[in-house]
């Protein structure tokens, strides 16, 4: 028998009038993994996480957390579950530490040593005595994680933890989630950023307007991703395009810039061709990463939207 799943959601549906916020969503999170729910704004990520916390009831479908359901266990479902939806809230006029002590009080209190530990885990030891009103957005998010850790959770749920953070804040939040994950904690996080999920998560569910468009491992997803495009700007786009076609590379053109896809060695050879032909190179850059490109293909509305068969390897048609 396999271990009980941390989260086992099956066919969850939620409608708001004519709007279907969740359309038969199934998500399974194994214990110990870092699981990402990825999707653009409005995909239904928060709606799903609200259901997990019992803040919202599904119209239909079932949801179990560590084998417990809201119907049979009530609030007991949340034993071992901590996290926050959208942004954590604190008393701005109180210090970070005082906020944690108050929150711990709701759960029966925490020792000073435990408060020290969680502050250290999120790198807020030095600022624990400052009022939360003076915290950066990233520090507040980290304090939110600290508050969640106070409960010694087995499952940590984070709704877009890096949303609104500056690059340093994003880096710190990623490092924090990775550290927590390596301690064996199961982490379920939502994000609209493929780069974030790609580097943190083992498995991912990609959602678009309430539906699952992919679920599986990041490794499997990477195998389905299209080749990354090189953007090449030259002083003679006509000639450069001709050289590109002669090399058998896939090319699309916008003004003087070519977007070229193909094996790296052939692209390297093409660059040598261009320069060898006396054409000057004005710009060379890499397009979005292959996984980002795939994410946009999967989630951006288009009349002929791409779908990847769930649980089956993509066919080459999925790359068009
Ligand atoms: N209380 C509500 N009433 C009506 N529509 C809602 C409500 N909550 C969410 N929605 C809609 O459901 C969809 C999914 O929202 P949400 O789960 O917040 O998406 P995400 O978190 O992925 O950005 C959106 O179209 C949103 O406008
Ligand atoms: Mg949301």
Q: Does the beta carbon of 19 sit less than 6 angstroms from any atom of ligand 1? A: yes
Which two tokens mark 184?
A: 């064996």
Distance of CA 305 to the CA centre of its chain: 21
pLDDT per residue rounded down to tens, the chain (320 residues): 468 999 999 999 999 999 999 999 999 999 999 999 999 999 999 999 999 999 999 999 999 999 999 889 988 999 999 999 988 899 999 999 999 999 988 877 788 999 999 999 999 999 999 999 999 988 999 999 999 999 889 999 999 998 888 888 888 888 989 888 888 899 999 999 988 899 899 999 999 999 999 999 999 988 887 778 899 999 999 999 999 999 999 999 988 899 999 888 999 999 999 999 999 999 999 887 878 888 888 888 654 544 554 444 433 333 33
User: Per the domain annotation, does 99 fall within a domain?
Assistant: no
Q: Are residues 72 and 175 in the same domain?
A: yes
User: Per the domain annotation, does 135 fall within a domain?
Assistant: no
Which stretches of 192-269 are assigned E, i.e. beta strand?
203-208, 211-217, 230-234, 250-254, 257-261
Which pTM value belongs to this model? Answer: 0.81
Residue found under tokens 């692209």: 267
Residues belonging to the chain: 320
Q: Are residues 275 and 162 in the same domain?
A: no
Distance 86 CA to ligand 1 centre (A): 12
Cβ contact 60:11 at 8 Å: yes
Q: Are residues 64 and 166 in the same domain?
A: yes
Which two tokens mark 320?
A: 């068009």
> For residue 268, what is the domain's CATH number?
3.30.70
Distance 257 CA to ligand 2 centre (A): 36
User: Per the domain annotation, does 132 fall within a domain?
Assistant: no
Cβ contact 232:274 at 8 Å: yes
Q: Are residues 76 and 158 in the same domain?
A: yes
DSSP, collapsed to helix, strand or coil, labels residue 81 as strand
> For residue 300, what is the domain's CATH number?
3.40.50.300
Q: Pick from 21, 50, 53, 86 the residue to mutate for probing ligand 1's pocket: most ligand atoms within 8 Å of its CB.
A: 21
Q: Does the beta carbon of 42 sit less than 6 angstroms from any atom of ligand 1? A: yes
Q: Are residues 182 and 218 in the same domain?
A: yes
- Print burial letters for 277-302: b (CB count within 10 Å at least 16), e (below 16): eebeeeeeeebeebbbbbbebbbeee
**Looking at the 3D structure of the chain, how many domains does it have?**
2
User: Per the domain annotation, does 112 fall within a domain?
Assistant: no
Q: Are residues 247 and 304 in the same domain?
A: no
Q: Are residues 194 and 303 in the same domain?
A: yes
Distance 113 CA to ligand 2 centre (A): 34
Q: Are residues 218 and 234 in the same domain?
A: no
Cβ contact 1:20 at 8 Å: no
User: Per the domain annotation, does 117 fall within a domain?
Assistant: no
- As a whole number of Å, the CA-based R_g of the chain is 23
Distance 158 CA to ligand 2 centre (A): 10
User: Per the domain annotation, does 312 fall within a domain?
Assistant: yes
Q: Are residues 169 and 203 in the same domain?
A: yes
Determine the structural domain holding residue 194 and report its residue range: 7-80+153-224+294-316
User: Per the domain annotation, does 104 fall within a domain?
Assistant: no
Q: Are residues 64 and 163 in the same domain?
A: yes
CA distance 264 to 59: 50
Q: Are residues 11 and 76 in the same domain?
A: yes
CA distance 247 to 29: 45
User: Per the domain annotation, does 262 fall within a domain?
Assistant: yes
């Amino acid at each position: 028998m396999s271990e009980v799943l941390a989260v086992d959601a099956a066919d969850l549906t939620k409608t708001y009038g004519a709007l279907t916020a969740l359309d038969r969503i199934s998500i399974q999170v194994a214990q110990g993994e870092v699981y990402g729910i990825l999707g653009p704004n409005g995909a239904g990520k928060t709606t799903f996480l609200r259901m997990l916390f019992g803040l919202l009831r599904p119209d239909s479908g079932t949801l179990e957390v560590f084998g417990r359901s809201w119907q049979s266990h009530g609030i007991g479902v949340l034993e071992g579950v901590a996290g926050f939806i959208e942004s954590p809230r604190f008393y701005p006029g109180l210090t970070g530490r005082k906020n944690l002590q108050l929150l711990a009080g709701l759960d029966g209190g925490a020792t000073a040593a435990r408060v020290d530990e969680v502050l250290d885990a999120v790198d807020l030891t030095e600022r624990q005595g400052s009022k939360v009103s003076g915290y950066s957005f990233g520090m507040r998010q980290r304090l939110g994680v600290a508050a969640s850790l106070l409960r010694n959770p087995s499952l940590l749920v984070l709704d877009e933890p890096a949303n609104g953070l500056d690059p340093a804040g994003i880096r710190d939040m990623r490092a924090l989630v990775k550290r927590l994950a390596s301690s064996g904690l199961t982490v379920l996080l939502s994000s609209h950023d493929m780069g974030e999920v790609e580097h943190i998560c083992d498995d991912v569910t990609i959602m678009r307007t309430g539906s699952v468009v992919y679920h599986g491992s990041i490794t499997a997803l990477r195998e389905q991703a299209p080749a990354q495009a090189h953007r090449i700007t030259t002083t003679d786009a006509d000639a450069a395009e001709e050289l590109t076609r002669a090399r058998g590379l896939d090319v699309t053109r916008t003004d003087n810039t070519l977007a070229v896809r193909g094996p790296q060695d052939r692209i390297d050879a093409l660059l040598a061709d261009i320069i060898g032909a006396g054409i000057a190179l004005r710009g060379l850059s890499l397009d979005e990463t292959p996984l980002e490109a795939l994410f946009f293909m999967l989630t951006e509305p288009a009349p002929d939207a791409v779908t990847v068969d769930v649980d089956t390897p993509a066919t080459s048609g999925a790359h068009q």
